Structure 1
């Protein structure tokens, strides 16, 4: 069984070690701030802490590595999306990530997970992929995914009964998971003011409450969290506002201390590709 939605119990994930991440490639508004080499030992410690946090909470972690031509492969989320029937292979926009596509396709084949859709003409990265409920998907059209890619996915998933909504936002936000995340079946965190009104309306019509923060929190990975199911969520230790707000809604917040890996432009959600969630 693969992934039935975005908030059921997370049982198995795919993660990639940052073995070849040396510097923050200036390909988004976060990473372009950092010109000095990254502290590799610190990144490895942070990566290991996330792996341990998953394992301590009953999540199996499949760990892989990449190669010198794939420094940003640590952000495993981005190669595609995963639904109950199989996975969607995306298509990267930035050349620095081109090599990852075949790399992750081979990994998924080795894991025996069928490819049920593929973007070949447009662009689509997994950071833009989000469940709203079991049959409703939101795909961000922000910086790395375009409408052509969304249309390709929509057509290929339609036979499985999925409805796909495109969500446009400021390109500086990079991916949808930087400004919106579902953390429980009826609870989300987001920079609401930066999302299209029709999307916010859709979310609220589904009975989902939105904890809204500031735009500045996007660039500090405040919304980039991972739902573990059973009202649990993994978040950054420094996300004080979000973490307290989530606890006030009855959520258990598992905090991880991460600062160095963030400089490359991704957080906990970006590093995690869900393989089993039910």
Structure 2
């Protein structure tokens, strides 16, 4: 068994150092604000080390992809696919900037001994759109980097394994589902509720998932880009003061990371983490 849901105890992850992330390529609403600006390499590496240190302290084993000059955005490891109990799904990147990551991550997963269940080949699918709601219920964002064709391929591959797969269309400015919705505990999520479709909100109600609401502007400040560690623990950003206060009021142990430079490229802690093992 590899990853059985999104909120049980995280034991092992795959990440990639931001070695070649030199500037914020204008491929999302956040990075467009910083496009062509040099990023502070020392700060990027320090922020990545913060993530590693937090995982070490939490007892999470970290595997690392070797960075390459052709993969400037590979620090956002989440996006190459998704992982379930039986193995992983290889996605299909939309942006040419990220094409080289496809084979690199595929080789790394082979090296780690994690079987490829299916590959999205005709449509588009990126892992930032992949979210467990329950062990057999998966939500998939159809936003900017995953399209309906990719969703249908994913659904066709997962349904025979007993998974229910639901589409979550949203404004393309939100980039990925994990930018506007994130499950942080079994029955608790952080989300920009008004940006979610009615059918999805009804599903959350049926599953008794409570939402900590954030305003739309929080999406672009990574207010929802959190990583559940299990046992009511969550990685967040130091700047997410209101979100973090609300999480603590709901009994969560919030581990704050002082990450700001990496965010300029468009991703936060959730984007930087590909789960390999949740028990």
Q: Shorter-chain TM-score: which interval?
A: over 0.9
Superposed CA offset, 1:185-216 (max 9, x none): 11111000000011011011101101111000
Partner of 2:201: 200
Superposed CA offset, 1:7-64 (max 9, x none): 0000000000001110000001100111310000000000001110011011111122
TM-score by length of 1: 0.99
SS at match of 1:218: helix
Verify the 8 A CA contact 1:184 1:231 in the aligned structure 2. Answer: yes
Aligned counterparts of 1:56 and 1:70: Cα–Cα separation in 2: 28
Aligned counterparts of 1:66 and 1:252: Cα–Cα separation in 2: 32
Partner of 1:2: 2
Partner of 2:86: 85
Aligned counterparts of 2:113 and 2:37: Cα–Cα separation in 1: 40
SS at match of 2:74: helix
- Answering whether residue 6 of structure 2 is matched by residue 31 of structure 1, we say no
Superposed CA offset, 1:160-208 (max 9, x none): 1001011000000000000000011111110000000110110111011
- Answering whether residue 183 of structure 2 is matched by residue 182 of structure 1, we say yes
Matches within 5 A, 1:87-102: 87-102=88-103
Aligned counterparts of 2:131 and 2:118: Cα–Cα separation in 1: 16
Verify the 8 A CA contact 2:10 2:277 in the aligned structure 1. Answer: yes
Aligned counterparts of 1:172 and 1:235: Cα–Cα separation in 2: 22
SS at match of 1:85: coil
Aligned counterparts of 1:182 and 1:204: Cα–Cα separation in 2: 13
Q: 1:224 Cα deviation (Å)?
A: 0.1
Verify the 8 A CA contact 1:50 1:256 in the aligned structure 2. Answer: yes
Partner of 1:22: 22
Partner of 1:154: 155
Verify the 8 A CA contact 1:18 1:65 in the aligned structure 2. Answer: no
Verify the 8 A CA contact 2:65 2:105 in the aligned structure 1. Answer: no
Superposed CA offset, 1:221-273 (max 9, x none): 00000000000000000100110000000000000000000000000000000
Verify the 8 A CA contact 1:78 1:127 in the aligned structure 2. Answer: yes
Partner of 2:172: 171
Verify the 8 A CA contact 2:225 2:268 in the aligned structure 1. Answer: yes
Q: 1:111 Cα deviation (Å)?
A: 0.2
Aligned counterparts of 1:118 and 1:135: Cα–Cα separation in 2: 19
SS at match of 1:6: coil
Q: Which runs of 5+ in 2 are unaligned?
A: none
Partner of 1:250: 251
Aligned counterparts of 1:67 and 1:10: Cα–Cα separation in 2: 27
Q: What is the number of residues matched between the two proteins?
A: 278
SS at match of 1:74: coil
Runs of 4+ in 1 over 2 A off after TM superposition: none
Q: 1:65 Cα deviation (Å)?
A: 2.3
Q: 1:66 Cα deviation (Å)?
A: 2.1
Q: 1:158 Cα deviation (Å)?
A: 1.1
CA RMSD of aligned residues (A): 0.6
Aligned counterparts of 2:231 and 2:102: Cα–Cα separation in 1: 32
Aligned counterparts of 1:167 and 1:159: Cα–Cα separation in 2: 21
